[in-house]
């Protein structure tokens, strides 16, 4: 089974077999509003945890999407680049931004599970 974690920057990561699929949370897309542009990272890029690796722009604002863990970008979601509305329709599903091979799975321990993330959202509002 895949493990699912969340960051304070409102990214989610689902890890299976040492590979993480990353996107922004439903809460984040709700805050952004209608998404009008998405930029995904190039496969092969090595990134460190907390590094800005993608961009999502809405009618309200532009936001960086950060790598929740260190590793190598394996794949970018090409469908997302062609259909920005996916972010608003299915932020925690089809609208993943990139897949990353984790350099160190222990970094996941510093992230939140869904219950902790939902509590974090309530505390911040």
For residue 92, the model assigns a pLDDT of: 97
User: What is the structure's pLDDT at 87?
Assistant: 97
Q: What whole-number distance in Å separates Cα of residue 61 and Cα of residue 118?
A: 23
110: phi then psi, degrees, rounded to nearest 5: -85, 0
Regions in the chain scoring below 50 on pLDDT: none
The answer to whether residues 121 and 27 touch, using CB atoms and an 8 Å cutoff, is: yes
Supply the pLDDT for residue 3. 87
Q: How many CB atoms lie within 10 A of CB 102?
A: 20
**Taking the domains of the chain in order of start, what are their residue ranges?**
3-109
Number of H helices, E strands in the chain: 4, 9
Q: Please give the pLDDT value at position 81.
A: 82
Distances in Å between the alpha carbon of 50 and those of 7, 8, 33, 59, 88?
A: 10, 10, 23, 25, 23
Task: Please report the pLDDT score of residue 63 as a whole number.
Answer: 95
Tokens of 89: 């329709």
- State the fold for domain 3-109: OB fold (Dihydrolipoamide Acetyltransferase, E2P) (2.40.50)
């Amino acid at each position: 089974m895949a493990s699912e974690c969340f960051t304070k920057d409102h990214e989610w990561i689902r890890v299976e077999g040492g590979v993480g699929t990353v996107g922004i949370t439903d809460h984040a897309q709700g805050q952004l509003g209608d998404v009008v542009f998405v930029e995904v990272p190039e496969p092969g890029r090595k990134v460190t945890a907390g590094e800005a690796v993608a961009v999502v722009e809405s009618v309200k604002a532009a936001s960086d999407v950060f790598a929740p863990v260190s590793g190598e970008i394996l794949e970018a979601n090409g469908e997302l680049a062609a259909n920005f509305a996916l972010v608003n329709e299915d932020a925690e599903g089809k609208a993943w931004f990139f897949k990353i091979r984790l350099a160190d799975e222990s970094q996941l321990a510093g992230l939140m599970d869904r219950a902790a993330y939902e509590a974090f959202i309530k505390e911040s509002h």
